[in-house]
Structure 1
Amino acid sequence: MPTIFRPRPRKTAAMAALVLATATAALLPQTTAFAVAPESITTHSGATTDQERRQVEAYWTPERMKLAGALVPEITPVPEDDNTPDDPHPLPAGTPDPGATWRHGGAVAKSVGRLFFTFPDGYDGSCTATVVNSANRSTVITAAHCLRSVGAPADDGTWNHNLYFVPGYRNGTKPLGGFSIRSMATSSRWNADPGRTTSEDIAVAGYDTGVLVANPATAGRRIAEVTGSQKIGFTEPVRDEFIHTFGYPKGQLNDPNAKYAGSRMIHCAGQARPAPKAPLLWGEPCDMTHGASGGPHFAQFDTRTGTGTVVGVTTTSAELAGGETPMLYATRLGDSARRLYNWAQTRLL
């Protein structure tokens, strides 16, 4: 069945997470809670004390990071490193790319990273996230489904734990260190009653954006002071606009045929198209899989400097949203994402 890029907790013994229930926002049932209530911001605390920050830091060992996403980590071999050689030459502008290890460095290799978390049942997973320009120099953007499932926000069991962002993650190492997360937010649409409204309804309706506020590094530096940051834009999608996408996809780690293991950052590039089954989502040809969720979709990306404007975050593939295969679709950033961003960048000032 079609899936959104989120691994399910271990007790389900499956990587599939969310199933398409409706093709467009216009088809969503008007009786659902999120269809009638005004949208607001739902927030949640992460590691707020020094002790909590140390615990998160100690939890994410190199081996645990490498195995994040394994269905049965106790018997899953640690993935091999991706030692594809770096290329100091910039990728020629406008070069289509259906999926390959990013070898060209630049700012994107520092500001994008792997976001680790633990599901409430103890299963470890990962997504992708990006440091963006912000007043507090501490704002990170990802997908909402990387942070929580549908349900009452007061229920701690709807939120993931042990959130830890590793910018520039590479083969189990932390080139720029790791950052625990102080607070996070999603649209209140994710607060819907799971008995009446599903996560796929909300994602297809364009609300799959989440924001994070990272704790400072041990030396007190804000994350953007360490990694740099990318521009963020809340503009309307443009058909055929050339978009660059980055992420840390991983197949099932016990599958010897899986192309990606989350070891290195992967790049795709191509012309943007709306999803046939979910037209609020826009995507480009790309073969990334689970783990790429939350990764940035850049407009006006400069391959010489590795900078661009984040206009969307990865949500799903063609299996869910339709279109040619392979395709990678994003929740494009609009008014809902702007509200989250404005909230996040005022924290820790």
Structure 2
Amino acid sequence: MTLSTPLLAAAPLVAGLLGPALVGATPERHSSVVPPPPAAATRLPEAPAPADVVEHIAARGAADHLRVLSYWTPDRMDNALPIDLPGLVTEGGLLSGLTGGTGLGVAPGVTGGDVRLVPPRRGTRAEARHQSARPLAQTSGSRWAVGGAVARTTGRVFLTMNGVDFVCSASTVRSRNRDVVVTAGHCVKDGSGAWAKNWTFVPGYGTNGAKPYGQWTARRMFVAGPWSRGSDDSYDVGMVALAPSRGRHVADVVGVQDIAFNAPRGGHAIGFGYPADPPYDGRHLVYCAGRLRDDPYGDTHDQGLGCDMTAGSSGGPWLTRFDTSTGRGTITSVSSFKYSDDRRTMYGPILGEPARKLFHTAERA
């Protein structure tokens, strides 16, 4: 099976560097990686079947929410650093860990002295070249500079998993309880492993200040059974019900995007997120735009989008029927993973019946 790389970015605290370390493996450097079969020799698997919903209670009261808000100090958010350990590759190509053995992982016994920290590159030339006052119909990664609803509804997620701090992306969606955000499953639960802790959503991160609209903490989390039991990439979707902040629901403050299930395959989409690995720095909303295409290897039911966004963009929304003048569209997928031999294509799961079931459960939470 072709190796895939989920797009988490690590943000370890000083204390965390004395314990497990995050590994960003580069499998193409390992001689045991076998090139994928030709696209013509494969075909898509059957669409994901209806799946059970697995739920986690993230907070039981006001004290739990206050603890999470206190945990994420400005310094902890601002100093979140991706980790680069290019030499630590197992025989299978990647270290198992946070994403069920298919991507970034935690390597027990690796101390802070062995970790090479890569500081965020702020205002790099690479980012500056990809800015446009007018939205582009096709781009592999440009800074979103025209505002609109999407600049408020998309946000950055901060979480802790297996003792390591991470960043992801997410979006608000229209829901009955006005509390639901959608993200990637691996930004909520480590496959068959642990649930995320200290989970908080900052919409519009980096615009008009780090937290221009406030900060919301998770109260309940939901993933599909096949993701929870086996890290199946076709089910890499998570729904999170947030607690009100200062008595206000997140949807009432920043608005929402529509969400659709069982949308037709193909067509044009635009994906958003907060990539944090160079040449990006996680401080700006970035987008990719283009036509969707099927997974050429047939390993998943996902679709691909030409996109060079890096770690930290996981869980960012993919929108169709997007109106660039208002910044509104319909979410039909989220950023999930990249294949190890193709870093220019992002893949996202189809939001089918399993995702619909997750959503309806979350909006009733």
* 2:32 equivalent to 1:6: no
User: Which deviations, in whole Å up to 9, do the C-alpha atoms of 1:205-257 show, x marking residues without a partner?
Assistant: x1111000011011x11000001000000133432x11110001111xxxxxx
Partner of residue 142 from structure 1, selected from 173, 180, 183: 183
Normalising by structure 2, report the TM-score.
Answer: 0.76
Structure 2 residue aligned with 1:337:
355
Measured after TM superposition, the shift of residue 332 of structure 1 is 1.7
Q: Identity of aligned pairs, percent?
A: 34
Partner of residue 229 from structure 1, selected from 237, 248, 256: 256
SS at match of 2:279: coil
Partner of residue 290 from structure 1, selected from 281, 301, 311: 311
C-alpha distance in 2 between matches for 1:78 and 1:176? 26
Measured after TM superposition, the shift of residue 13 of structure 1 is 3.8
Cα–Cα, structure 1 residues 100 and 89, in superposed 2: closer, same or farther, change >3 Å? closer
* 2:24 equivalent to 1:15: yes
User: Which deviations, in whole Å up to 9, do the C-alpha atoms of 1:2-40 show, x marking residues without a partner?
Assistant: 41223579725412499999988849xxxxxx99xx731
Give the CA RMSD over aligned residues.
3.3
Contact 1:7–1:16 (CA<8 Å) still a contact in 2?
no
Q: Output aligned runs, 1:194-343, within 5 Å.
A: 198-199=230-231, 202-203=232-233, 206-218=234-246, 220-239=247-266, 241-251=267-277, 258-277=278-297, 278-319=299-340, 326-343=344-361
* 2:220 equivalent to 1:179: no
Partner of residue 49 from structure 1, selected from 43, 54, 61: 61
Q: Which runs of 4+ in 1 moved over 4 A?
A: 7-10, 16-27, 72-78, 80-85, 87-90
For structure 2, list consecutive stretches of 5 or more residues without a partner in the other structure. Answer: 13-18, 28-32, 84-111
Contact 2:308–2:344 (CA<8 Å) still a contact in 1?
yes
SS at match of 2:287: strand
Measured after TM superposition, the shift of residue 110 of structure 1 is 0.3
User: Which deviations, in whole Å up to 9, do the C-alpha atoms of 1:53-100 show, x marking residues without a partner?
Assistant: 111111112221133353369995763655989x996526xx211101
Normalising by structure 1, report the TM-score.
Answer: 0.79
SS at match of 2:166: strand
User: Which deviations, in whole Å up to 9, do the C-alpha atoms of 1:110-162 show, x marking residues without a partner?
Assistant: 00000110112x211011100000011101000111111232xxxxx611100
SS at match of 1:263: coil
Cα–Cα, structure 1 residues 16 and 331, in superposed 2: closer, same or farther, change >3 Å? farther
One-letter amino acid of the structure 2 residue matched with residue 11 of structure 1:
P
Cα–Cα, structure 1 residues 263 and 343, in superposed 2: closer, same or farther, change >3 Å? same
Contact 1:4–1:17 (CA<8 Å) still a contact in 2?
no
